[in-house]
Structure formats: C-alpha cells, structure tokens
C-alpha cells in the first residue's frame, strides 16, 4: 500500500479538526474526498504534507512503508508526495525556471543524483508545459505573480508533471476554474496517471469527477470519513446534497 | 513552539564560519600605534608623497581635532580609541615589481583564495583589478590594455607619483576634508585605494574593479578612491572587500569621490562583505564611509549600486549632486543585517540642475537581533525646476527580534518638480515557505530564493561578474535566520 492512514487525529491551536481519519491508497488508484466546508479536507492535506502548526495528537501516516509523522515537509515532498494547492502563493522576483530548477535539483540531491543540466531541464520544462497547454513563456514569469485563477491551477499541474510524484493530492483544484481550464487540468492529471502513482482529489463538486474518474469516493464529515463507495457515490451526493451527509453521521 | 525543527538549523548556520575569515601569514611593515602630526608625516614619507599632499593631510588632521564623532545615526557605537589604532600597515614586498612573478606568492595565493585572480592569463578578460591589502596596492592588472585607450587606472599612491596634476585637480573636490568627522580622518591618514581617469569621449572597454582586503590586526583601513569620467566618457567600476575574522573590532573609514563631466556616465557597484562579527555580536568591522559623486556637466549620469552584507556597523550614504541640467542619478541598494549587525545607510540626492532626475530603490532585509535603517535626503533647490525623484524603500523582516527603520527627508524648493516616495514593510510568509518546502526545497534554500527575489530589482543592476556573487552572499548571510 502506498499510503495508509490510521486513526489520524489533528489539532490546530488546540482545537481538534481530524477525529480518527482512516484511508488506504494503493498505487494506480484515484481517490476522491468530498464533503461540506469545514469538515477538515484541507487540514488532512496539510497534515499529510507536513505543514507546521498542524499537530498530530494521535495516529499514524504510513507512506512507502514508513511512518512519516514528524518528517519535515521537504523530505516528504522528495519522497514523492505532492500537493496541488487550493490557493497557490505568489513569490515575487523568483522566476518559474529558477523555482522549478531549485525544486527538481533538491529532489535529485535527495536521491543522490547530480543536478540536471540546463539543456535537459529546459527541454523538460517545454515538454511538461505542453501537457497542461501553457503556451506562453513560463520560464521568466515570477511564481504565480499576475497569474489568472486558471493559470495558477494549470501551473500546479505543470509542477506536478515536473516533479513526477507517486502521491498527488489535489486540493480543490476545480474551484474557480472555467470548463476549459478544468478540462486541461484533468487532461494533465489523466496523462500523468499510471499504475505506479496515485491521486487523491479533494473536491466539493461532482463536476471534476466527470473528467478525473475516481476508483473510490469518500465522504467526509466532522473530521472523519463517514461513507466510502465507487464513483456512483459522488452522483448520489450531488443529488441528495450535503444535508444527507449529516444524517449519515448519525 | 519548542519542538520547532527550524531551531536546529538556526543554530547550525549562525555558527557557520565567515568564509573569508582567514589570515595571511606575511611579513608586514607597521608604523607605531596612535595618531598625531608625526604619524601623518611618517605615512606621507613612506608613500614618498609631494609636499602639497602632506599639507592636505595636515590641514585635514587639524580640522579633525576640532570635530566630535557624529551621534545622529541610529547606531550604538562603542567608544573608539583613535590612539589605539595602527594607521599604516603594508605587506612587505620587493620595491620594484615589473611583472606578476615578482609579487609575493603568498599575496597572490591570498587573492586567489578570495576568488580574485591577479594573473591576467587566467582571469576573465572583462575585468581589470586593483588589489589592495591593508594600506597598499598589491597589483593592478590590465594596465597596458587600458593605457591604449588613454585610461588611467592605478593605485592612488601610484597616481600621486605619475599624474600629480590630475590628483591635485580632483582630490577633495566632491568630499572636502571638512565634510564630516570620518572624511576628515580619512583625509589625514588615507593610505591607498584606486585612481581612475577616463579621458574625453572614451568608453572604457572593460569593467574596472578594486578589491580591498584587511589582513593585519589592530589596524584601520582608510582607502581613498577617485573616479573621473571626462566629457562623454563611460566607465563601470566595481568594488569588493573582505577581512579576517577577529574578536576585536577594526575600523574602516573610506572616501569615494566620483566626478562625471558633461555627457559622461559612471556606474559604481559595491559588494560589501567586511567581517560582520560573530553570532553574539563580537568583533567585526566598523564601516564609516563617505561616498559621493557629482554630475558636474549637463546630461551627466551616475549610478550607485550596493549590496551590503558585511560589517558590524555600517554608516554609509552614497550620494549624488546633480549639478548639471538634465543630469541623472540612481541609487540601488540591498542592505542585509543579521545577528547583531547595525546598518544606517541610504543616500542623498541634491538637485541643483534643471530637469535633473533621480531614482532611489532601497531594499532592507533584517534578521536576528539586527537593526537596519534607511536614511535618505532628496533636496531640490528653488532654481532646479522640473526635477523628478522616485524613491522606493522596502523593508523585509525575518523574525521578530530585529528592527527596520526608514527616515526619508524631502526638501522641495519649487512647484514644478515632482517627488514620489513609496515604502513597504513585509515579512516572509509562512505560506511562501511551506509552498517551497512542499516542492522539496528546504527552508534555508527557500529563504535564499525568496530574498533574492525580493532584491531582484537591485541585483539586476549589478554587472554580471558581481551578480552571481551577490546572490550567493545574500543566501549565506541569511541562512538560518527564520525561526
């Protein structure tokens, strides 16, 4: 199993948000986590990627055979965990080329590989950009500065393509996307998906799941998964609304 | 948060050694400690100076005796005993050195270690270097190439001997010895530095640079640089500096004068990396420097670019007098302070000519327990109509123990001039750091990346040869500064 989360409890500033979360993800699978606002979906993503301030009070996160609780975020990233951010942050003055080169070479260093040559890197950037249909010159633009909502999300998938993670978490990647951008983003994910990697897609709406078809759908409420099923569950949820989830909880 | 893993990194890196802290073991010619007229006569004699220069020194010294150390800067300066300093120290070497082979190999090795090769064959062909250790110039490269264009680039002492008329004509014309306490001191005891003269209509084909190295203990360094671009000339000049790591403080009080005549342009870039002291604020260089340029003729241009990362205390305001009409002056600065460093730095733009324009971009970065201040004056005299100034002063804070301060002064004497001032204060956000971490970039590297991005506008103004060094330096200076 690629990722196995057991009885995870997470608090922020003493307030418990995740209350016994369990999830297993195998290579090759696509999982969707759905649920109303404030149920802890983004908290879960932050806890798995190791964000500071998210205190794990109980439980284990097993990834590639080791419990990664307490591991610094950059190490988790270098082990192949990737988060596509809901709100990608701007870094003024830092070009995408410089940023990605630093990231790619940090991972290579972690793996004991020499830095990638500039020629190979430029080639790789071009190729991956095409995958998410970014046609404009990306390399000299500053990280997310002046990007439209759609561009920011495409840029996240582009970075995912560059770093070739085994576990990708997409946090509300569909929010604020028009249908064309949504299609491009989903298309990128589908191209990257293979039997060796896995995706966990956090979303509010069933819409994204028409494009990225999940093997499993989990419904989250009040800090834990209350129902799991296949993609039909997403449709059922869409139809019955989140009020239905609250009933499930009881 | 007591279990913060970043704490360890801070420990590790602030304990990291200053890269250039080594001492060269070389026989040095010292004069006795202390400061009086006999000492000044001795320095002048050692340098075999003409009488007029000795007179200049003595006048400056007598004036200095009447002055008190300035206290207006936002700096805590421990008392300095000016009688406890050695004012002249020179590495001993053979009198006449006709080629590189004759320079002491130990000195060559020192500069090699600093990344400054004095071997013209091995060097990047784009830069001529004047290497100064303690009170004397060791070697100036590419003099032949330059003299073909009529460009004079040599150590100050050499220039006094070979071109006394030029030195006499320009010395002290931009920074008179009466200017301030440290300018008077420098004028009395200055040892060496660089002299540069670019004749009418000549565009200097290579970058000129001086590398200053303090080596000897208990000495002060008082160099003097004079750059003259005659009508229509152009020159780009770079200055770098380092010093050994020592527990006691050392004084550095320099003067730089720039004269840009009609239609001429001078670009002056500095990467200042004097030893900053250790993580507890022990040791380090006291850096009290007067730098000023004058755009003397119409359409003249001067630009200052500085990256300040070193020194325990920095007191420095590279300024411009825009005397001619349509003159242009620029000041681009990145000043970084970490641990217990203190910096009070900025610029003065004095608009005297009509339609003169100035730009000020200042980026302060403070970390640790440091204090970082921008102090600037923009003055437009009543006759200087239609002037423009744009000032932007940004401060970036890393941590909550440091201070960032801004003191902009504006005096506008007429209605037709437009002066703009923008200022921001920000912090590196947790969001930015986590975003980098999530992409596999460790916090140390992430800070370097973000800070270099923040300083981009200024770093872009540096000549290529300097830009890479400056970027590395920024990252190193700030490593471990976010907790």
Tokens of B33: 């400690």
Contact A73 B434 (CB under 8 A): yes
Residue of A nearest to B443 (CA): A74
Q: Where are the alpha helices (DSSP H) in A134-201?
A: 149-163, 179-192
Residues of chain B contacting residue A93, judged by C-beta atoms under 8 Å apart: 452-457
Domain assignment present for B397: yes
Residues of chain B contacting residue A53, judged by C-beta atoms under 8 Å apart: 430
**DSSP secondary structure, A97-134, as one string:** HHHHHHHHHHHHHHTTPPPPPHHHHHHHHHHHHHHTT-
Residue of B nearest to A159 (CA): B439
B429 and chain A in contact, CB less than 8 A: yes
CB B233 within 8 Å of CB B203: yes
Contact B452 A103 (CB under 8 A): no
A139 vs B380 pLDDT, higher one: B380
Q: Which residue is it, tokens 């191209």?
A: A191
Residue B176 pLDDT exceeds 90:
yes
Mutate which: B430, B438, B458, vs A, most A CBs within 10 A: B438
Q: What is the mean pLDDT of chain B?
A: 84
In angstroms, what CA-CA distances link B385 with B353, B380, B418? Answer: 8, 8, 10
Domain assignment present for B45: yes
Contact A91 B435 (CB under 8 A): yes
CB B355 within 8 Å of CB B326: yes
Nearest CB to B438: which of A73, A93, A99?
A73
For the beta carbon of residue B424, count every other beta carbon within 10 angstroms: 11
B443 and chain A in contact, CB less than 8 A: yes
Nearest CB to A107: which of B440, B452, B453?
B440
Letter string b/e over residues B287-298, b meaning 16 or more CB atoms within 10 A of that residue's CB: bbbbbbbbbbbb
Mean pLDDT to the nearest integer, A3-11: 97
The reported pTM is 0.81
Domain assignment present for B211: yes
Tokens of A72: 């610094």
Q: What is the pLDDT of residues B18-32, one digit of tens each?
A: 667 677 777 777 788
Residue B6 pLDDT exceeds 60:
no
Letter string b/e over residues A207-236, b meaning 16 or more CB atoms within 10 A of that residue's CB: ebbebbebebbbbbbbbbbbbeeebebbee
Q: What is the pLDDT of residues B85-134, one digit of tens each?
A: 888 887 776 455 555 556 667 767 776 766 666 665 555 445 667 777 76
- Structure confidence at residue A106 (pLDDT): 95
Contact B453 A92 (CB under 8 A): yes
Residues in contact with B298: Cβ distance below 8 Å, sequence separation at least 6, in sequence order: B262, B263, B324, B325, B326, B327, B353
CB A233 within 8 Å of CB A219: yes
First to last CA, chain A: 30
B457 and chain A in contact, CB less than 8 A: yes
- Structure confidence at residue A204 (pLDDT): 84
Q: Residue B5: which pLDDT band, with cuts at 50, 70 and 90?
A: very low
Least Cα distance to B35 among B217, B219, B179 occurs for B219
Nearest CB to A74: which of B430, B442, B456?
B442
Domain assignment present for B18: yes
CA distance B39 to chain A (A): 51
Q: What share of chain A is helix, strand, coil (3-state, %, to 5)?
A: 35, 30, 35
CA distance B423 to chain A (A): 16
B3 and chain A in contact, CB less than 8 A: no
Q: What sign has the CA pseudo-torsion A190, A195, A199, A205? A: positive
CA distance B438 to chain A (A): 5
**DSSP secondary structure, B247-302, as one string:** SSEEEE--EEEEEE-TT-EEEEEEEE------TTS-SEEEEEEEEEEEE-STT-EE
Least Cα distance to B321 among B233, B260, B270 occurs for B260
Mean pLDDT to the nearest integer, B299-310: 92
Residue of B nearest to A110 (CA): B440
Contact B439 A142 (CB under 8 A): no
The domains found in chain A, sorted by start residue, are 3-249 (3.40.50.300)
Residues in contact with B353: Cβ distance below 8 Å, sequence separation at least 6, in sequence order: B295, B298, B322, B323, B324, B325, B326, B327, B384
Domain assignment present for B326: yes
As for how many domains chain B has, the answer is 1
Mean pLDDT to the nearest integer, A118-140: 87
Mean pLDDT to the nearest integer, B183-207: 92
- Structure confidence at residue B214 (pLDDT): 72
| Residues A26, A160: Cα–Cα separation, whole Å | 19
Residue B15 pLDDT exceeds 60:
no
| Residues A35, A12: Cα–Cα separation, whole Å | 20
Contact A89 B432 (CB under 8 A): yes
CA distance B330 to chain A (A): 21
Residue of B nearest to A90 (CA): B432
Q: HSE of B52 in the Cβ direction (CA atoms, 13 Å)?
A: 9
**DSSP secondary structure, B310-374, as one string:** --SEEEE--EEEE-STT-EEEEEEEEEE-TT-EEEEEEEEEE-STT-EEEEEEEEEE-TT-EEEE
Q: Which residue is it, tokens 């249908």?
A: A179
Contact A78 B441 (CB under 8 A): no
Residue A105 pLDDT exceeds 90:
yes
- Structure confidence at residue B4 (pLDDT): 37
Domain assignment present for B185: yes
ipTM for the predicted complex: 0.96
At residue B431, the 3 state secondary structure works out as helix
Q: Residue A82: which pLDDT band, with cuts at 50, 70 and 90?
A: very high
CB B465 within 8 Å of CB B126: yes
**Chain mean position to CA B91:** 23
Residues of chain A contacting residue B441, judged by C-beta atoms under 8 Å apart: 74, 102-103, 106
Nearest CB to A103: which of B1, B434, B439?
B439
Q: How many CB pairs under 8 A join A and B?
A: 75
Mutate which: B432, B440, B457, vs A, most A CBs within 10 A: B440
Provide residues of A within 8 Å CB-CB of chain B: 49-53, 72-74, 77-78, 82-83, 85, 88-89, 91-94, 98-99, 102-103, 106-107, 110, 142, 159, 163
Domain assignment present for B312: yes
Contact B449 A73 (CB under 8 A): no
Domain range for B204 is: 5-478
First to last CA, chain B: 10
Contact B437 A92 (CB under 8 A): no
- Structure confidence at residue B195 (pLDDT): 93
Domain assignment present for B483: no
Stated as kind and residue range, the H or E segment containing B470 is: helix B464-478
Residue B164 pLDDT exceeds 90:
yes
Residues of chain B contacting residue A72, judged by C-beta atoms under 8 Å apart: 5, 437, 442
Phi, psi of B2 (to 5 degrees): -85, -20
- Structure confidence at residue B117 (pLDDT): 65
Contact B439 A159 (CB under 8 A): yes
CB B197 within 8 Å of CB B163: yes
Q: Which residue is it, tokens 């991972």?
A: A107
| Residues A124, A104: Cα–Cα separation, whole Å | 11
CA distance B480 to chain A (A): 16
Mean pLDDT to the nearest integer, B282-292: 91
Max Cα separation, chain B? Answer: 68
% of chain B surpassing 90 pLDDT: 47
B434 and chain A in contact, CB less than 8 A: yes
Q: Residue B165: which pLDDT band, with cuts at 50, 70 and 90?
A: very high
């Amino acid at each position: 199993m690629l990722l196995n989360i057991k009885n995870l409890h997470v608090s922020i500033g003493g307030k418990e948000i995740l209350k016994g979360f369990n999830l297993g993800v195998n290579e090759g699978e696509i999982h969707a986590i759905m649920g109303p606002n404030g149920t802890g979906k983004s908290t879960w993503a932050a806890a798995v990627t190791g964000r500071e301030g998210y205190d794990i009070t109980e439980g284990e996160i097993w990834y590639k055979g080791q419990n990664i609780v307490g591991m610094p975020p950059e190490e988790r990233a270098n082990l192949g965990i990737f988060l596509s951010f809901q709100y990608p942050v701007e870094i003024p003055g830092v070009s995408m080329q410089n940023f990605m080169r630093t990231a790619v070479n940090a991972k290579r260093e972690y793996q004991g590989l020499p830095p990638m040559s500039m020629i190979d890197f430029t080639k790789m950037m071009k190729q991956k950009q095409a995958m998410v249909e970014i046609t404009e010159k990306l390399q000299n633009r500053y990280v997310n500065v002046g990007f439209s909502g759609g561009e920011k999300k495409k840029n996240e998938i582009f970075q995912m393509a560059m770093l070739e993670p085994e576990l990708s978490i997409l946090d509300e990647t569909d929010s604020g996307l028009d249908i064309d951008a949504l299609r491009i983003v989903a298309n990128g994910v589908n191209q990257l998906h293979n039997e060796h990697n896995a995706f966990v897609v956090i979303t509010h709406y069933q819409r994204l799941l028409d494009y990225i078809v999940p093997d499993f759908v989990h419904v989250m409420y009040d800090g834990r998964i209350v129902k799991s099923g296949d993609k039909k569950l997403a449709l059922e949820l869409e139809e019955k609304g989140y009020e239905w989830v609250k009933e499930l909880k009881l | 948060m007591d279990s913060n893993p970043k704490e360890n990194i801070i420990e590790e890196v602030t304990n990291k050694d200053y890269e250039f802290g080594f001492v060269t073991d070389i026989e040095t010619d010292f004069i006795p400690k202390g400061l009086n007229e006999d000492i000044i006569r001795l320095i002048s004699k050692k340098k075999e100076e003409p009488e007029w220069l000795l007179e200049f020194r003595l006048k400056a010294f007598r004036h200095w005796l009447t002055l008190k150390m300035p206290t207006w800067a936002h700096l805590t300066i421990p008392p300095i005993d000016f009688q406890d300093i050695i004012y002249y120290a020179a590495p001993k070497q053979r009198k006449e050195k006709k080629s590189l082979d004759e320079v002491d190999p130990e000195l060559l090795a020192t500069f090699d270690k600093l990344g400054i090769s004095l071997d013209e064959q091995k060097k990047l062909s784009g830069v001529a270097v004047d290497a100064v250790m303690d009170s004397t110039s060791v070697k100036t490269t590419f003099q032949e190439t330059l003299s073909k264009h009529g460009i004079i680039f040599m150590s100050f002492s050499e220039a006094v001997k070979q071109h006394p008329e030029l030195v006499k004509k320009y010395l002290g014309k931009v920074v008179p010895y009466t200017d301030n306490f440290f300018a008077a001191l420098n004028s009395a005891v200055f040892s060496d530095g660089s002299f540069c003269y670019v004749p009418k209509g000549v565009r200097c084909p290579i970058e000129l640079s001086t590398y200053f190295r303090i080596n000897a203990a208990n000495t002060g360094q008082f160099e003097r640089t004079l750059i003259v671009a005659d009508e229509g000339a152009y020159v780009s000049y770079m200055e770098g500096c380092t010093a050994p790591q020592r527990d006691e403080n050392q004084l550095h009080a320099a003067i730089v004068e720039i004269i840009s005549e009609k239609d001429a342009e001078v670009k002056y870039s500095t990467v200042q990396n004097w030893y900053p002291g250790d993580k507890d604020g022990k040791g380090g260089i006291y850096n009290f420097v007067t730098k000023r340029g004058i755009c003397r003729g119409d359409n003249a241009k001067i630009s200052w670019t500085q990256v300040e990362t070193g020194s325990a205390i920095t007191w420095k305001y590279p300024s411009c007098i825009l005397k001619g009409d349509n003159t242009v002056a620029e000041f681009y600065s990145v000043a970084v302070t970490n641990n217990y460093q203190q910096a009070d730095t900025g610029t003065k733009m004095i608009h005297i000519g009509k339609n003169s324009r100035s730009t000020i971009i200042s980026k302060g970065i403070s970390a640790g327990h440091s204090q970082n201040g921008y102090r600037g004056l923009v003055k437009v005299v009543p006759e200087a109509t239609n002037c423009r100034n744009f000032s932007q002063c940004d401060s970036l804070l890393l941590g909550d123990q440091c201070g960032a301060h801004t003191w902009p002064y504006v005096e506008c004497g007429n209605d037709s001039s437009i002066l703009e001032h923008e200022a921001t204060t920000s912090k590196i956000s947790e969001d930015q750091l986590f975003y980098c971490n999530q992409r596999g970039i460790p916090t140390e590297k992430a800070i370097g990346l973000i800070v270099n991005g923040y300083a981009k506008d200024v770093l872009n103004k540096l000549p290529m040869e300097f830009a890479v060094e400056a970027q590395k330096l920024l990252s190193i200076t700030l490593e471990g500064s976010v907790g």
